[in-house]
Amino acid sequence: MLLYNVDMDLPPLPEKPLIPKLGKIEKNIRVYFFEREDGSTFFAQAKEAWTIMKGRVQHVGYERPRIKFIGSSDGSKFRQGVIEAQNIFKEQGLIPSQERIRLAEKEELECARGNMIYPVNQDEMTRGGQLINIGSLR
């Protein structure tokens, strides 16, 4: 059994530096913005947006929250903000980089306001699992 003397001065352990991974930036993804009753906004991708718009998000015994669809955007403003945030991180650090990402999210929201492009129906699929737009087949 190995015992350590707590009074003995041990050399301090070196701290591991905190380095975020600067990886590949993905392509644009269409996002859908919603507004809650309290005025706060959030965004979702196509599958989650379809579920929200069809009213399937509910809690038994509670009143269903009222969520308003604000609009949709292609995600280009946010992607550009992420690219700029990576460069800011290399030059200035984490805090200014995070501020740039928050600003990019606000820019994306302003771009999406009033752009009413609805998500594809996620309930209608082929046998292979591909989504079908039934309206375009009629």
Q: Does any domain span residue 70?
A: yes
Please tell me the predicted confidence (pLDDT) of residue 18: 42
Q: Does any domain span residue 74?
A: yes
- List the domain range (segments joined by +) for residue 36: 31-57+64-120
Q: How many domains, the chain?
A: 1
pLDDT tens digits along 29-59: 899 999 988 888 998 998 898 888 887 656 6
Q: Does any domain span residue 7?
A: no
Q: Does any domain span residue 13?
A: no
Q: Does any domain span residue 73?
A: yes
pTM: 0.68
CA dist 50 → 71, 72, 84 (Å): 13, 12, 31
Q: Does any domain span residue 110?
A: yes
Q: Does any domain span residue 97?
A: yes
Range of weakest confidence among 13-22, 76-85, 105-114:
13-22
HEC secondary structure over 13-53: CCCCCCCCCCCCCCCCCCEEEEECCCCCEEEECHHHHHHHH
Q: What is the mean pLDDT of residues 90-99?
A: 88
The more confidently predicted of residues 90 and 60 is 90
Please tell me the predicted confidence (pLDDT) of residue 56: 63
Q: Does any domain span residue 35?
A: yes
